Structure 1
Amino acid sequence: MVGTVGRISDLPKVISVDDHVIEPAHLFETWLPSRHREQGPRPFAAGIGDLQYVGGKYRFTTDPDGQLTDWWEYEGQIFPYKRVIAAVGFSRDEMTLDGITREQMRRGCWDPKARLEDMDLNHVEASLCFPTFPRFCGQTFAEAQDKELALACVRAYNDWMVEEWCGDSGGRLIPLCLIPLWDVDLAVAEIHRNAARGVRAVTFSEIPTHLGLPSIHSGFWGPFFAACEETGTVVNMHIGSSSQMPAASPDAPPAVQAALSFNNAMASMTDFLFSGVLVKFPRLKLAYSEGQMGWIPYILERADNVWREHRAWSGVRDLIPEPPSTYYYRQIFCCFFRDKHGVASIDTVGVDNATFETDYPHVDSTWPHTKEVAAEHVVGLSEEVAYKILRGNAIRMLGLPFDEHQASVTVG
């Protein structure tokens, strides 16, 4: 490919590496083994009551006089769907924390056929979707008391994801599966079970210690990383997959969290660069979802400087044999949807490391204007670079059966 992208008509179709799905009410009734269905997650509708924002987390109650909302009940805990997570089709002033039912949502939030239609409207060819009720890496099940039931729920979700959500999409809906975070041997088994049916993406916590799990430095996750490397399964870490979002003060408004949402991705990536994990598993691929990328040039510079200047005391002299940026360019993918600073630094961010997302159906989503938003970001870039960041890198990262004659292998 030659020349630069100057017209919106030149734009290749997007492959989005970060979207979301609202689970249909029948999911667990259909996909859980019959012996678990009575105790499994139960959908119900009720009015939504008070909202509290405590320690960076939202707490809700039901209220018979409140706005009708679709919920899940699981082990005595209740989880409402809110308008901000099913925001497509609403005006900006309507994208609130009010409750919402599936009938009030745009159907593409939870119906795969309608999702494909919305992707067609949005210049999107393929999409990788994170869970909602299970939370971004399955924390809902990791926190459950009955781990036998929780494991059944993880497997049921994955079966639904592979067979129902993605099954009839012709490869356009890309399966993203969960693992039982509380047991690494079970996690390895689930990686292999899903890889055997073509799954190449799993969701994981950006900072496991925030969930009360062992750190990536502990060695605990070694078998999981080995299984992902062996099967070509990409480890996808969404902002908020540690159940915490950064804020400067405990009583700061949610806007502070929204503005600082990239911080966890930045912290997680730095953790991995100095962990030795990417040295030990040189074919392991990590993907940071919804973290944007404008911050990456500085953190790579800083990490390399620390490695070079502080190696005598910083604990990485013998652990990290090459500058940390080496492992980033070899094994890590970032993604963006509104980040012109990142695009302006694309040579340092990495033309082979950046991918694109639409965040459908969240409040940040570029739907239905993704083509225009993407065009604003890639104008003036070469056709080759625009192709890579809008679809080519995602194809290579996930091993997708698109454009094989155009995909060049640099990372992974």
Structure 2
Amino acid sequence: MELPRIVSVDDHVIEPAHLFDTWLPAKYRDRGPRPLTEGIGELEYVGGKYRITMDPAGPPADWWIYEDLRFPYKRNIAAVGFDRDQMTLEGITRAEMRPGCWDPVERLKDMDLNHVEASLCFPTFPRFCGQTFSEAHDKEVALACVRAYNDWMVEEWCGDSGGRLVPLCLIPLWDVGLAVAEIRRNAARGVRAVTFSEIPTHLGLPSIHSGYWDPFFAACQESDTVVNMHIGSSSQMPSASPDAPVAVQATLSFNNAMASMADFLFSGVLVRFPRLKLAYSEGQMGWIPYTLERADDVWREHRAWGGVRELIPEPPSTYYYRQIFCCFFRDKHGVASLDAVGRDNATFETDYPHVDSTFPHTKEVALDHVRGLDDETVRKLMRGNAIRMLGLDLDA
């Protein structure tokens, strides 16, 4: 089988050290994020939270210093080029990373090596949906940082890529009016993707049931902007015991996407905004068939006392197949259940440069998953659904 070139809907970018010096207005730079190379001391991941200290005598790492935040880059988020047993929580400098982590020219070269034509990249220092700026004390500077990041994303990271690097922008999560303005500002220059929290209440924000986010959803529908939700974009990963190893959280990571999707299916958001598109990133898809089966069963049997009789007029799976996209890169169970997952709903990702990434063997991994599927379905999974979702003109 000749595999079509892939459009990856979930990759990541390591921000270059010059980002805010170049793109943040001069009057904010002394209060904005500053790059620093410094030794790293204690670095542990316990109960879903990092414990981090600086230590001049420790191994060097590249950091961002912003208000009272100390944010180091770690090997597990810039893992390509390292052996599996080297993909640890140790600090790392950009000089030690594969240049494609932060250099767009080198990223395109790595995409060519990896059978990837186009890529949508989530942020790292701002966190998956911009929580770093939402948690900042000085919201005037934080808003300027969101806009600076988006300007860098559109004009520098994606600008000279010929459409191969697809812009994914942030919103100021703390103010829905400002969020709407940022959606419109970016849509006017061709941006069709925004990152959002899978479960906003975990960030201390209003829920999607409250109506608070409706102006944001309306602006996304109006501008054909896809709402992309990455696992962990609620700053919380599911776990069992508080002292369980990180492997437990990694195994359960899809739980956030599953919870978020159930939330949306019963929220009425997809009823009120029938052209709104949602995309779940890095959640895989093998869990989706039973979730839809259960949601439809609850709707049929329990909708009166369950509080959704008037809110959700059709079975919840109706809205999933119409408006929601999932993605996968290691999920043979999901591929085996593709008719229930939806041949028009599934997309592919490479997760470059994270520890999960299939780089540089993505073509082999993809072929192993789609072997036996018809050519039309393979094309949909590898690129067609992503092109339709994001409104790309790659096949024009």
| TM-score, L = length of structure 1 | 0.96
CA contact (8 A) 2:43 2:90 kept: no
Question: What is the identity, as a one-letter code, of the residue corresponding to 1:359?
Answer: D
1:86 corresponds in structure 2 to 78
Q: Map residues 129-208 of structure 1 onto 2, 5 A cutoff.
A: 129-208=121-200
* Aligned-partner Cα distance in 1 for 2:19–2:300: 51
Relative to structure 1, the CA distance from residue 83 to residue 133 in structure 2 (aligned partners, 3 Å threshold; closer, same or farther) is same
1:16 corresponds in structure 2 to 8
Matched, 1:278 2:279: no
Question: What is the identity, as a one-letter code, of the residue corresponding to 1:385?
Answer: T
Question: What is the identity, as a one-letter code, of the residue corresponding to 2:69?
Answer: Q
Question: What is the identity, as a one-letter code, of the residue corresponding to 1:46?
Answer: E
1:408 corresponds in structure 2 to none
1:39 corresponds in structure 2 to 31
* Aligned-partner Cα distance in 2 for 1:268–1:129: 21
Deviation at 1:65, TM superposition (A): 1.4
* Aligned-partner Cα distance in 2 for 1:145–1:347: 47
Matched, 1:338 2:324: no
Question: What is the identity, as a one-letter code, of the residue corresponding to 1:237?
Answer: M
2:106 to 99, 114, 120: 114
* Aligned-partner Cα distance in 2 for 1:250–1:121: 40
What SS does structure 2 have at the residue aligned with 1:38? Answer: helix
Deviation at 1:53, TM superposition (A): 3.1
1:367 to 342, 349, 359: 359
Matched, 1:385 2:377: yes
What SS does structure 2 have at the residue aligned with 1:216? Answer: coil
Deviation at 1:243, TM superposition (A): 0.1
What SS does structure 2 have at the residue aligned with 1:153? Answer: helix
Q: Deviations over 1:230-256 (max 9, x none)?
A: 000000000000000000011111000
* Aligned-partner Cα distance in 2 for 1:363–1:300: 30
Q: Map residues 274-313 of structure 1 onto 2, 5 A cutoff.
A: 274-313=266-305
Q: Deviations over 1:280-323 (max 9, x none)?
A: 00000000000000000000000000000001200000000000
Q: Map residues 218-257 of structure 1 onto 2, 5 A cutoff.
A: 218-257=210-249
Question: What is the identity, as a one-letter code, of the residue corresponding to 1:71?
Answer: W
Question: What is the identity, as a one-letter code, of the residue corresponding to 1:73?
Answer: I
Question: What is the identity, as a one-letter code, of the residue corresponding to 1:131?
Answer: P
CA contact (8 A) 2:231 2:257 kept: yes
Deviation at 1:55, TM superposition (A): 3.3
Q: Deviations over 1:3-28 (max 9, x none)?
A: xxxx3xx1000000000000000000
What SS does structure 2 have at the residue aligned with 1:69? Answer: strand
Deviation at 1:136, TM superposition (A): 0.1
Deviation at 1:54, TM superposition (A): 3.8
CA contact (8 A) 2:76 2:354 kept: yes
What SS does structure 2 have at the residue aligned with 1:302? Answer: helix
Deviation at 1:52, TM superposition (A): 3.4
Question: What is the identity, as a one-letter code, of the residue corresponding to 1:132?
Answer: T
Matched, 1:348 2:323: no
1:212 to 193, 204, 217: 204
* Aligned-partner Cα distance in 2 for 1:403–1:159: 26
In the alignment, structure 2 segments of 5+ residues that lack a partner are none
CA contact (8 A) 2:40 2:61 kept: yes
Percent of pairs identical after alignment?
A: 82
CA contact (8 A) 2:20 2:33 kept: yes
Deviation at 1:211, TM superposition (A): 0.1
Question: What is the identity, as a one-letter code, of the residue corresponding to 1:218?
Answer: S
In the alignment, structure 1 segments of 5+ residues that lack a partner are 1-6, 405-412
* Aligned-partner Cα distance in 1 for 2:304–2:38: 60
* Aligned-partner Cα distance in 1 for 2:75–2:332: 28
Matched, 1:395 2:387: yes
What SS does structure 1 have at the residue aligned with 2:63? Answer: strand
Matched, 1:98 2:90: yes
* Aligned-partner Cα distance in 2 for 1:39–1:397: 38
Deviation at 1:59, TM superposition (A): 1.6
| TM-score, L = length of structure 2 | 0.99
* Aligned-partner Cα distance in 2 for 1:265–1:41: 30
* Aligned-partner Cα distance in 2 for 1:250–1:232: 41
CA contact (8 A) 2:113 2:360 kept: yes
Q: Deviations over 1:333-378 (max 9, x none)?
A: 0000000000000011000000000000000000000000000000
What SS does structure 1 have at the residue aligned with 2:107? Answer: helix
Deviates more, 1:55-64 or 1:254-263: 55-64
What SS does structure 2 have at the residue aligned with 1:15? Answer: strand
Q: Deviations over 1:97-135 (max 9, x none)?
A: 000000000000000000000000000000000000000
* Aligned-partner Cα distance in 2 for 1:192–1:106: 35
